[in-house]
Structure 1
């Protein structure tokens, strides 16, 4: 099971975040599951195929034809429904109210006093519910009123003075919205047996009944986005909000501890908060034997209870991403020398732009032991790398992969002026490095460069030796050109010549790193992925300087800033 809890910043609350689930449209439910195992009696030609091939054919059927298909017979109707209702949205619209009322009617059609036991649930006759795989809850205008709700009798059964289908549903809110949520909670548990994921996209205050329904639903993936726990308009309500939110998180974790494999908790940053208003777990949280990937971002903690619950001495986490800039997190990590027996990926982003803050955080890791750390990615928000931090990194002799970056991390602005001489000297103790990457790096050209001077012609060594430049010249040589064409050609020549010069400079830099680090195999520098070829062991005896460097190979002809490529190479889960 995967749970994602996200609370956007107040500063960025104007735009809706992208839905985390489903990342791509779910394949419809297979026909045998949508048909509840009943034998197929239709003579429609499609049903002569094996069931496994049905949904390889249905994507080629238009929506209009699907509607026509549903009128042929029951099996055709169920096949069409498995496509049309694979992903549905519950809102306060009339169409959504009708859908929910239909689902509740299916539950009660054969058993007016619905039982909640598994045997009773399996004996019910479903038609629409088994077709639903993904649900989005997006509750907003138009709001409900009693007159609209009265048109849907199975929903109003959850109102005051009526007998509920599910006696376990407690009616603490008797407003039309509360009645709707009570009915929706019942549908989550009993009406959709093939439900795969739930995407909660609304700021409705979650009740314990709704949370319990989500836990008991068949869904394997649940995503909370824009969830509203309390308004948080003042300090007192903010404290209640923190308690309410962390209580719900703790309840979720307790219910899914045995099967939880990935957990991402994105809190809300606020400079006005202090540790007394932070998050903490109030009771012992169970172990997470299946948890492999953990992300905590912007979660301000009052004590170590949250970290201790996830990173106990029995943790099996293999991918850890922390973006919690507080001293408590740093002090906790000092006492944790284990993440996994397998080569771990450790992403720790707690540096700020304040040099004094960086100094205070950087001094404590001198006492840390990272003897088993093999992969490291660090990002500084400042436009330089502090020498103290580089000295600490150089003590991690077990590192095999290192990715460093600083400055602005998005857009056209690259404001980290990299100092390779400093890096070569500072990182020299890392003699077992195999992969080295520098992203968002920039370079200063002293006293200008001839390619930047538009008054001087390009020499043949700067232009015509490049194959791309030769192609441009060959295509236009001997042709009469207008002034604008000549100017465009000159710009192409200058651009191609600069790119060739830049590739040559980066190749020289990588060769320097290859000579310093005997096991280095791959570099990313100057937006260029570069591999290093060395002499084989049969040709060159392995010694203190490693294998001899025979060739520096640029893997791409053009610069590329593909962060996902680096993330895949570093094995990040997010």
Structure 2
């Protein structure tokens, strides 16, 4: 990044308000759960690995020192979490034990994304060499999360010798070698590994037979090869897997309608009893017009111990499949449920639900008909996130919000996203929201989204009047608000009035304008249209900054003490400080 870009980015750090640049994107329902940092990265604390596990069972090298002699292993393990990142290098130089502790922090997550940068392979070379040695203080004991994103062409070009040698081996021998290697790395050399992201058929097959607890497959292409890998797992085998996150892709070639569904069915077969969190996003079935949904060739096993369930972007093949994933009655132990897609089987099954005593978080997207009976029966909810279609907006204002005011006295997080036809959050709705005194996080969205443009002209005065009546509110997000108006749009005059501001009079003399002009000269090369866009960007950000300050001042009145804002496509945190 250039020096100009660094200046441009750092300009938005101000007293009491810190803007962090991020390309605009809609906020996921998980943001309202309160455990998401910068909207997308969940920050869940993981306790450090026990020192004895890092040392491979060997006694500490400095066991005669007071620190190791007097403090229990549990206390030493806890101390690791307080080590400052900038001191780890000095800490690692103390002795071999300290080096191993530092490496457990540096290499907690290891990414294998084969590209044409040979520097990426240095860690892999280290792992291969260490795995052939007898030393207990190896890097494998420090790894907890592994991301595998291999590219076949890159792998072949960077590992030509190994690739050619493996190609000369017979099919059965090759499979045996790959299986042995995967078994060794998963079960022996990397004993602390609990998370694996995006891997191939062989590693995937081994992962389900290993001590791994969390498996995430993003962009996995479903094909017959992947399904065949699961068929070779011993029928009596059961996995310890607790989290399974699947985002399937049909790929370009070789995809059949039943592949994705059969793949998930076979995976669940080995982990249904241990699974606590299941997220399924991707292609389930492809039914043509007029084609009837039939029974699944591979039925889904019941998930009797599931606690966190997400079903998005797809249709089930039969009601039995929905019943297996969503146990009803006393068998349902769900704490969190997220359903996205107008699947008739899901809707029919959800309509049969009543009270789920354990349910704390409910997220519904594009459901055909708002399941008011399910919502009404679960007034114990901490979080409710609902994205409605255009024909359901009145149900939210006239039925759902009054219901929340009457019965939901412990609701801490609320997210409501209207369809594109609703270009404003009505004052009627804001009045009801202002009565939810327990709210700590609020996310509102309205209007149409056209590519990266938005059409919600936010009435910040009305929003502030609502927010100031919520004494516990900490985080406020307004997504899909207007960003770059299309002047040729039929509402162009409306946009012009909305953005007419005294900022325009002083824009040319501002520091932002100078920085953006310098950045523009680097990138645009003198294009007039590009210059206008950069100027609008500067004006827009200044306007959003001024708007944000008005929300900060609420903390000094009788309203809430906000510590996080998101609007104008910019997230902002507000560190606590005192006014003398």
Range into which the TM-score falls when normalised by the shorter chain: 0.5 to 0.7
Contact 1:281 1:306 in 2 (8 A): no
Per the TM alignment, residue 390 of structure 1 is displaced from its structure 2 partner at its CA by 5.0
Contact 1:34 1:131 in 2 (8 A): yes
Contact 1:264 1:294 in 2 (8 A): yes
Q: What residue number does 1:192 align with?
A: 190
Q: Name which of 377, 388, 394 aligns with 1:372.
A: 377
Cα distance in structure 1, aligned partners of 2:45 and 2:396? 44
**C-alpha distance 557-316 of structure 1, shift in aligned 2 (>3 A):** closer
Cα distance in structure 2, aligned partners of 1:20 and 1:222? 18
**C-alpha distance 283-273 of structure 1, shift in aligned 2 (>3 A):** same
SS at structure 2 position matched to 1:186: helix
Contact 2:339 2:364 in 1 (8 A): yes
SS at structure 2 position matched to 1:373: coil
**C-alpha distance 192-89 of structure 1, shift in aligned 2 (>3 A):** same
Cα distance in structure 2, aligned partners of 1:417 and 1:39? 65
Q: What residue number does 1:349 align with?
A: 365
Per the TM alignment, residue 322 of structure 1 is displaced from its structure 2 partner at its CA by 0.7
Q: What residue number does 1:137 align with?
A: 148
Per the TM alignment, residue 419 of structure 1 is displaced from its structure 2 partner at its CA by 3.4
Q: What residue number does 1:31 align with?
A: 51
SS at structure 2 position matched to 1:265: strand
Cα distance in structure 2, aligned partners of 1:222 and 1:392? 40
Cα distance in structure 1, aligned partners of 2:359 and 2:552? 26
Q: What residue number does 2:299 align with?
A: 283
- Runs of 5+ unmatched residues, structure 2: 1-37, 224-248, 447-457, 462-493, 503-538, 572-580
Deviation per CA, 1:409-433, whole angstroms, max 9, x where unpaired? xxxxx96223335887xx8xx9x96
Q: What residue number does 1:95 align with?
A: 122
Find out whether 1:440 has 2:452 as its counterpart.
Answer: no
Per the TM alignment, residue 61 of structure 1 is displaced from its structure 2 partner at its CA by 4.3
Per the TM alignment, residue 225 of structure 1 is displaced from its structure 2 partner at its CA by 1.8
Contact 1:103 1:187 in 2 (8 A): no
Cα distance in structure 2, aligned partners of 1:87 and 1:453? 47
Q: What residue number does 1:317 align with?
A: 334
SS at structure 1 position matched to 2:321: helix
After superposition, the CA RMSD in angstroms is 5.6
Per the TM alignment, residue 188 of structure 1 is displaced from its structure 2 partner at its CA by 1.0
SS at structure 1 position matched to 2:150: coil
Cα distance in structure 2, aligned partners of 1:444 and 1:418? 11
**C-alpha distance 391-191 of structure 1, shift in aligned 2 (>3 A):** same
Contact 1:189 1:213 in 2 (8 A): no
Higher-Rg structure is 1
Deviation per CA, 1:106-141, whole angstroms, max 9, x where unpaired? 5xx6xxxxxxxxxxxxxx967443232222222125
SS at structure 2 position matched to 1:331: helix
**C-alpha distance 263-75 of structure 1, shift in aligned 2 (>3 A):** same
SS at structure 1 position matched to 2:216: strand
Q: Name which of 275, 279, 289 aligns with 1:264.
A: 279
- The count of corresponding residues between Structure 1 and Structure 2 is 398
Contact 1:196 1:218 in 2 (8 A): yes
Find out whether 1:406 has 2:418 as its counterpart.
Answer: yes
Cα distance in structure 2, aligned partners of 1:370 and 1:143? 51
Q: What residue number does 2:454 align with?
A: none
**C-alpha distance 159-198 of structure 1, shift in aligned 2 (>3 A):** farther
**C-alpha distance 192-373 of structure 1, shift in aligned 2 (>3 A):** same
TM-score, normalised to structure 2, is 0.52
Contact 1:82 1:131 in 2 (8 A): yes
Cα distance in structure 2, aligned partners of 1:20 and 1:248? 27
Q: What residue number does 1:221 align with?
A: 214
Cα distance in structure 2, aligned partners of 1:421 and 1:20? 31
Q: Which has the higher contact order (CA 8 A, sep 6+)?
A: 2
Q: What residue number does 1:420 align with?
A: 427
**C-alpha distance 435-530 of structure 1, shift in aligned 2 (>3 A):** farther
What does 1:15-26 align with in structure 2 at a 5 Å threshold? Answer: 23=43
Cα distance in structure 2, aligned partners of 1:371 and 1:244? 38
Contact 2:310 2:339 in 1 (8 A): yes
Per the TM alignment, residue 80 of structure 1 is displaced from its structure 2 partner at its CA by 5.8
Find out whether 1:239 has 2:248 as its counterpart.
Answer: no
Q: What residue number does 1:40 align with?
A: 60
**C-alpha distance 90-287 of structure 1, shift in aligned 2 (>3 A):** same
Deviation per CA, 1:358-401, whole angstroms, max 9, x where unpaired? xxx33x968x565413254432354x854356555367874555
Q: What residue number does 1:466 align with?
A: none
Per the TM alignment, residue 198 of structure 1 is displaced from its structure 2 partner at its CA by 1.7
Deviation per CA, 1:481-501, whole angstroms, max 9, x where unpaired? xxxxxxxxxx9xxx99x979x
Q: What residue number does 2:26 align with?
A: none
TM-score, normalised to structure 1, is 0.53
Cα distance in structure 2, aligned partners of 1:130 and 1:34? 6
Cα distance in structure 2, aligned partners of 1:38 and 1:415? 65
Find out whether 1:308 has 2:323 as its counterpart.
Answer: yes
Q: What residue number does 2:240 align with?
A: none
Cα distance in structure 1, aligned partners of 2:277 and 2:219? 20
**C-alpha distance 85-403 of structure 1, shift in aligned 2 (>3 A):** closer
Contact 1:380 1:407 in 2 (8 A): yes
Deviation per CA, 1:42-90, whole angstroms, max 9, x where unpaired? 4897965745176355845454884x66xx6x65665565455443334
Q: What residue number does 2:161 align with?
A: 148
